[in-house]
């Protein structure tokens, strides 16, 4: 099988990790064991964002996101199916991925700020609202929504049960799950 990358993007709390885990489980059961990455875990490995320094600038985030892109390419070039759940909402990232990852599938998990604040699993929006955090993606740090995602999901009422099937169906139509 040729390597593939499923890039799941969206703001904090939009359901990226939940979807990534469901996709990974379904693909593994179907005989396509993926490599699963989550932005939080990768950030702990790669830096340069240091929670203690408050370095969450656009530049540091973009540098980190480009490392994720290159890691995904390294693995997909070796034939791995990679699923990554990361905010990384930059036009430069989307463009690089489309240019350098031949079998790239982009998923945008979209949700209203009201819903994200309601969900707020990591307390990011609360901490922003109480002035503990700044440079929060989608609030005081501008983000670029994907212009041409292959799939747009919405977690407003919970992750729809058919979302994984829809994504896999779209990937099959593009022959992304064939050897």
Residue 60 annotated among the catalytic residues of the structure? no
Q: Is 99 strand, coil or helix?
A: helix
Sheet holding 104-110, edge to edge: 34-38, 81-85, 4-9, 104-110, 151-154
Q: Give me the catalytic one of 25, 57, 60, 88.
A: 88
| Among 12, 38, 48, residue whose Cα is nearest residue 123 | 12
Residues 6+ apart with CB under 8 A from 108: 9, 10, 145, 146, 149, 151, 152, 153
The secondary element (H helix, E strand) that includes residue 153 is strand 151-154
Cα maximum dimension of the chain: 51
The dihedral region occupied by 88, where left means phi > 0, alpha psi between -120 and 50, and beta the remainder, is: left
Q: How far is residue 29's CA from residue 20's CA, in Å, rounded to a whole number? A: 14
Residue 21 near residue 125 (C-beta atoms within 8 A): no
- The catalytic site residues sit at 88
């Amino acid at each position: 099988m040729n390597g593939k990358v499923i890039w799941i993007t969206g703001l904090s709390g939009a359901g990226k990790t939940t979807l990534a885990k469901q996709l990974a489980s379904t693909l593994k059961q179907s005989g396509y064991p993926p490599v699963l990455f989550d932005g939080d875990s990768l950030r702990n490995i790669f830096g340069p964002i240091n929670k203690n320094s408050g370095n969450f600038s656009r530049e540091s985030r973009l540098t980190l996101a480009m490392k994720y892109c290159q890691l995904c390419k390294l693995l997909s070039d070796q034939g791995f199916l990679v699923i990554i759940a990361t905010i990384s909402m930059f036009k430069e990232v989307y463009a690089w991925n489309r240019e350098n990852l031949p079998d790239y599938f982009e998923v945008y998990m979209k949700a209203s700020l009201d819903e994200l604040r309601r969900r707020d699993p990591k307390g990011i929006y609360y901490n922003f609202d109480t002035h503990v955090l700044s440079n929060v993606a989608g609030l005081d740090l501008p983000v670029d929504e994907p212009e041409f995602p292959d799939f747009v999901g919405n977690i407003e009422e919970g992750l729809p049960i058919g979302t994984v099937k829809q994504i896999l169906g779209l990937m099959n139509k593009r022959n992304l799950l064939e050897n």
